[in-house]
Structure 1
Amino acid sequence: RAVPTLPKSGERLRGYSEDRNREDGRMSKLTVIGAGAWGTAFSLHLARLGHEVAIWCHEPKTAENIRRGENIDFLPAMPIPQAVRATLDLSECTHNAEAIFFAVPVQFLRSVLAKIDIADIPQTAIPVSLAKGIEQASMKTPCQIIDEALGAKVPAVALSGPSFAEEVAGGKPTVMVAGGRAESTRAVMEIVASDSLRVYSSDDRCGIEICSALKNVLALAAGMCEGLKLGDNSRAALIVRGLAELHRLVTALGGRPETAFGIAGLGDLVLTSTSGQSRNFQFGKLLAEGRPAPDIIAHYRWVAEGVFTAPVALELAKKHGVELPIAEAICAVIEGTATPASSAHALMTRPLKPEFPR
């Protein structure tokens, strides 16, 4: 009996069907919208698998840098092969695309979608959200925004999980979960899965997106703990009580309770609450060092989605009668009505109660 061998690093797996490619062997034609660190990293991953990849850039400078082989501003020191084609033309990159991956910050997603001519997108193209957060104006998730803007020809798939851009770009082992309709999630899994990126499926798109949004808020709190030098015990406390908030909000909004304990929930929460690579963690640490939120936003080019998600998550929670004390404390710090230290004290001195109320 032959011993199975793993594919070479970065090679795609064929475990979901004997071979999803057409009879002519051509790989998928894919589009990535957004050339920040995450969009660039995911484009690199897709290109390594042999797919045709077009990446849309908002700025001419970014497109030129990618054509020269390096996204200096957003993903430096990571060589970009010619297989990743940078463009400023949305029509060009969406035409004939089999899947479109949206790696745009949630607060800007709708404005980018408004520039896309729906007629350019094939009827069978699968929209995939790589974004994490909730739009402030509408309180909608990325997939809801995409469905609304594109007319839901094919409902969007949420692809999420503990996945730092630099590590995905470098081919480090990563797991993610694809949430949506069965046929779409299966197709996405077959497109992106490799020996370095394992993808699970779920029909709980709602739960995945809520987890992905709220964990960013909790990562801000983890950064504050680090900045205040509160120790490892506080980080563990934050993760476990933050998980309780994830569970409550996901359940209240119609998601599956178990999703909070999965890849997009606990998995991503642990990663972003324990690593300085997380932008939200970095932002929280800067808050703890005394930097006002508006100053941090103005000084850094990167976006910490948790800052924009926190007030929306709190509003949604209040609307559904859900208690989110950590998110509420974060909002107070961002708004300048409390300090990180006073918020930590307030959380620790809340009324005593059972861990699991009956």
Structure 2
Amino acid sequence: MNNLKVGLLGGGSWGTTVAALVARNAPATLWARNPETVQEINTRHSNETYLPGARLPEKLRATADIGEAVAGADVIVMGVPAQNFRGVLQQVREHIRPWVPIISLAKGLELDTRMRMTEIIAEVLPGHPVGVLTGPNLAREIMAGQAAASVIAMEDAIIVRELQCLFSSGLFRVYTNTDVVGCELGGVLKNIIAIAVGMGDGLGAGDNTRASLITRGLAEISRLGCAMGGQPETFAGLAGIGDMIATCTSPQSRNRHVGMELGRGKSMATISGEMFMVAEGAKSAPAVMALAEQHGVEMPIASDVYKVLSGETSAQRIFRGLLRVSAGAEWEPG
């Protein structure tokens, strides 16, 4: 792995964290838009805006020139938000060498097209191997050295095993999977369920309610994920229930935070204005609901969350309906 050069795009919390992990195994260059962030990483080895108190490896280099990060890279890692993903990828196209693998860190859907990030990569940069790194990965805990596990998914079993070693570091263990669709959708869809759980927490609901929402939410995302080509076992793994538990229960979860603020009566516009970082669940919710309709999949929890996000109703009015008034068989849709 020491012979591979890695270009990481995106100076947010997760992009910087992955860059720090990779820099322990291979030469890594991080591209960030903000020149001040670049200077801070290069001189002080920190990114206080996104990772306060964390120390970055001195070997990690940063640049504000995307060409510098991409041109000599053997692997590209995309750590930019879903709605900015295509634009950055189009800049990458001007500098990338042929056949360089591209790994996505984003857990969202492109709103206009409803496309997953790996689908956008295949469209903008055909011929490049594509993959996703996903799982229950809270950036601050990983930077603090706490144990965590993730999944790298690519269709090519040989390439994915080679790249597995690139991301594994210390107590950060990376597993492999060839179910790109399932792994990617697990990371996307659980965000909406985390908003539902946050609503309950904001309204003072109990642990039983939280457990019910997580469990029934997992059933929903599994139905849609499998309808779109994912494998059932993926949703029972790190990219499914693992990521769901972390996102639905951690105070660090941005999507849970959005739900809590909605439960406390704030509008989505107010919440967005107060947040510094992106909550992908709120951004991707319209695309998720459109996909559910397209594939004929019932998603009652996600549907109610979308109604609150769109301003059609409030968390207070909708929350009793999140667990459904009538219950059918547990293993049937509904």
TM-score (norm 2): 0.95
Q: 1:17 aligns to what?
A: none
Q: Could you tell which deviates more after superposition, 339-348 or 99-108?
A: 339-348
Per the alignment, residue 3 of structure 1 pairs with: none
- TM-fit CA distance, 1:76: 1.3
1:201-252 alpha-carbon deviations (Å, 9 max, x no partner): 1111001111110011111111111111101000000111011001101111
Q: Is residue 132 from structure 1 mapped to residue 132 from structure 2 by the alignment?
A: no
State the secondary structure of the residue aligned to 1:326. Answer: helix
1:109 to 71, 85, 94: 85
Alpha-carbon distance between aligned partners in 1 of 2:261 and 2:273, rounded to the nearest angstrom: 13
Amino acid across the alignment from 1:28: L
Deviation at 1:185, TM superposition (A): 1.1
Distance 2:32 2:307 in 1: 35
Quote how far apart the aligned CAs of 1:287 are.
1.0
Task: Quote how far apart the aligned CAs of 1:75 are.
Answer: 1.1
User: SS at the partner of 2:92?
Assistant: coil
Report the aligned-residue RMSD: 1.5
Tell me, what secondary structure is at the counterpart of 1:308?
A: helix
Contact kept in structure 2, 1:91 and 1:117, CA below 8 Å = no
Q: Which residue of 2 aligns with 1:170?
A: 144
Matches within 5 A, 1:142-221: 142-151=117-126, 153-180=127-154, 181-221=156-196
User: How far did 1:349 drift?
Assistant: 4.2
| Aligned residue number for residue 9 of structure 1 | none
Residue 249 of structure 1 corresponds to which residue in structure 2? 224
* TM-score normalized by the length of structure 1: 0.89
Percent of aligned pairs sharing the same letter:
37
**What is the distance in 1 between the residues matched to 2:194 and 2:267?**
17
Q: How many residues align?
A: 331
Task: Map 1:255-334 onto structure 2 (within 5 A).
Answer: 255-334=230-309
Matched with 1:15 is: none
Q: In the TM superposition, what are the counterparts of 1:38-53 in structure 2 within 5 Å?
A: 38-49=14-25, 51-53=26-28
Q: Deviations over 1:281-335 (max 9, x none)?
A: 1111111111111111122211000001111111100111000011101101111
User: 2:29, 2:63 within 8 Å by CA — same for their partners in 1?
Assistant: yes
2:10 aligned with 1:34: yes
- In structure 1, what is the Cα distance between the partners aligned to 2:275 and 2:254? 10
Read off the aligned partner of 1:74 and give its amino acid letter: Y
Partner residue, 1:223: 198
> Runs of 4 or more off by more than 6 Å in structure 1?
none
Structure 1 residue 275, shift from structure 2 partner:
0.8
SS in 2 for 1:157: strand
The amino acid that maps onto 1:350 is: V
Q: Is the 8 A contact 1:34 1:55 kept in 2?
A: yes
CA offset at residue 111 of structure 1? Answer: 1.1
| Distance in 2 separating the partners of 1:168 and 1:147 | 30
Is 1:66 the counterpart of 2:41? The answer is yes
Structure 2: where are the runs of 5+ without partners?
none
Deviations 1:53-110 (A, max 9, x none): 1000011122122223221211111122331111011111112211111110101101
Contact residue 109 and residue 142 of structure 1 kept, 8 A: yes
Structure 1 position 27, deviation (Å): 4.1
Q: Secondary structure at the match of 1:101?
A: strand
